[in-house]
Structure 1
Amino acid sequence: MVNFWRNIHRRPLQLLLQELDERGISAEHLVAGRIKKFDTIVDKLTRRNAIANLAAMDDIAGCRIVVPDLGRQAALCDALYEVPECDTAWSDRHDYIGSPKESGYRGRHLLFRYQDPRHGYALPIELQVRTEHQHAWATAVEMYDEVAADRLKFGEGQSQADRFFRRISVVMRQLEERGRVEPSSIRSLDDGTDGLQAALDILRMLSAASQSVYVLGGGKEVAPESYCLVDFDPAEQVVELTEVCPEVALETYFASEDDPDREGHNFVLLRGATLDKLKDLYPNYFGDISRFVTIFNDLIYKNLPAFA
């Protein structure tokens, strides 16, 4: 049943990628698309406060776009609201800029619904639009969960790390919205422990987690009009990049997903990307979040009163 549901969401992914192409969005921004993995779906259905069933899961198919700043984020979302298939009511409720999650997560999630002609379902596809700083925060949380065997991403994490990432999120929000930081509002998240020491301990843990990943086919830049298939084998720590032309991009992606010899691999389809841009979008595939550790170090040392 899960795999049937994954398979019929291929069409919404194809239609949204085409929409982004036709509107020139793919040419301006790095766009990634994927179908949620089987194991990830099962985890989402069985974890604490799980959603009721597969039909209630809106992100079986998903895309992600990372933009430089809040202004670009707002402009892009306004343009996407004009797409006829955009569910604006759902998208308004998932505006995590106006109303960040309790964890500190920020971003804009937009939902598009495409009618499935064969089965009669209105199938959703979720598009995440993040700024570079919002993406840095979210990726660092994912990496911390991997290193510490924690579940901060799902609101089930340790209190010390949770407070650290909520503080960082508030710092980023104030800088993006006001251009300055108010230390008193950051310190209000403290629980009486040494916030600065906790922050430095977590940063050291993230820095130490970087590991070497072997990259195949990453030596050249993919043409803007072409697609890049990313095949990440976690067991072997190998990332393989293959350039594919637009006409067969989705067919190649789905064939790779169905390949029994590559069970357990993670696949993402990107529209034109250098290796450096790919590392920015999916640093967890490369075990390297040094860029994000640098961002956090800079934020902390420039705003020591907020953490002391």
Structure 2
Amino acid sequence: MDVLSYWRFSHEKALDSAFNLLQDIARKKDKATIFAKRLKRYASIVAKLRRFEQMKLKNMQDIGGCRAIVANEKKLRQLVRDLRKRSEFKTAQGKIRSKDYIKNPKDDGYRGYHLIGQFSGDNSEKKSIEIQIRTALQHDWATALEIVDLFTGQALKSNRGDAAWKTFFRNISRQFAIMESIHLFDTLTPRQKFETYGEVILNNKSLIEACRDAKQSSEKLSVVDTLQAFAHGLKIVDERLSQVLVTGYALIEVNTKKKQVSVSIFSDDMNAEAEERYIQCEKTAAATDHLVVALVSTTAVGGLKEAYPNYFADSTDFVRHLLLINSLELPKGGGSIWSDFYRRLFRWREK
């Protein structure tokens, strides 16, 4: 644990450099961009070492990572284009280390764009830092999957877990991709989203079948009710999180047994204390399966809960779009699509 922690925190300076660069470029494309950064959790590092036989700690490229969440794919592509011009993302041979999971989604349905850059760390030694760029809808999907992992004890993110949940997230990813293919979809009202999405689906037989699969997998798991239960059952110790103004780190501790999340704030001049507390908490978490800890940046635009909704079981935006799918009346069905759509949407908002 001590060796791992030493190596992880040696990425801190490089991570800050990458994060500052990402902020400078992304804000020119989308002023409402949400940013997040983190040093990889102990549990995630160990799981990755075990999952890939040839993986070594020194070769792991995402020990430090930061993320930008933009409104839509057009802005994402603009941001990617500008980042790819930077020398930090080019190897000595001029190649760019990147993965386009939007054009080629992962097997589980994950979509996003990843870049690996080299940034100066301690003693000017270069460290690999991963930058993830996602649209808001892609982030909603990833957040929902992480919430299910966190509160059910699965590892869907590592492609390990219940087959029914795997099927559900793959199916929903395909539907979200269809939504994002609609021009200016993110700017539409809920009713407009429903109409345009429904029009695309109902004009294509294969899309109708794909939508039916998504609806069935959602209903089989009672996903809306399940996610709602996670959110309502979680006690947040400090409700003033949106008022956090200091620059530094936040230590998030989630106890899935007690259904409780607590946050400790550390300003920039308390980094050493934050690191020490984080290591202590991780040692405790490593000995049990109901504690999850993460050390994240407090500089997130919009607050911690907006940048890291998974730790607070907040799947509100995911559910809103899931209801578009669940409420679409497909051929051979009956009843009013509008009455069912708004009944379920307003019921969720009221709760």
TM-score by length of 2: 0.72
On the 8 A contact 1:34/1:269 being kept in 2, the answer is yes
User: For residues 81-230 of structure 1, what are the structure 2 equivalents within 5 Å?
Assistant: 81-87=84-90, 89-92=95-98, 94-116=99-121, 118=123, 120=125, 122-178=126-182, 180=197, 181-182=200-201, 184-186=205-207, 196-202=215-221, 203=223, 204-210=225-231, 211-216=233-238, 218=240, 221=243, 227=247, 229-230=249-250
Rounded to whole Å, the distance in 1 between the matches of 2:73 and 2:157 is 22
Rounded to whole Å, the distance in 1 between the matches of 2:236 and 2:75 is 34
Q: CA deviation at 1:214?
A: 2.1
Say what the alpha-carbon RMSD is for the aligned residues.
3.3
On the 8 A contact 1:216/1:241 being kept in 2, the answer is no
Letter matched to residue 60 of structure 2: M
What corresponds to 1:268 in structure 2?
296
Q: CA deviation at 1:21?
A: 4.8
Q: CA deviation at 1:108?
A: 0.7
Number of residues paired by the alignment? 294
Letter matched to residue 160 of structure 1: A
Rounded to whole Å, the distance in 2 between the matches of 1:291 and 1:195 is 17
Higher helix share: 2
Rounded to whole Å, the distance in 2 between the matches of 1:33 and 1:227 is 12
Rounded to whole Å, the distance in 2 between the matches of 1:287 and 1:169 is 19
Letter matched to residue 274 of structure 2: S
What corresponds to 1:259 in structure 2?
277
On the 8 A contact 2:167/2:217 being kept in 1, the answer is no
TM-score by length of 1: 0.81
Partner of 1:150: helix, strand, or coil?
A: coil
Partner of 2:67: helix, strand, or coil?
A: strand
With over 3 angstroms needed to count, the CA separation of the structure-2 counterparts of 1:260 and 1:174, relative to structure 1, is closer
With over 3 angstroms needed to count, the CA separation of the structure-2 counterparts of 1:57 and 1:184, relative to structure 1, is farther
Rounded to whole Å, the distance in 1 between the matches of 2:76 and 2:280 is 35
Unaligned runs of 5+ in 2: 184-196, 283-292, 335-351
On the 8 A contact 1:170/1:186 being kept in 2, the answer is no
Aligned identity (percent) is 28
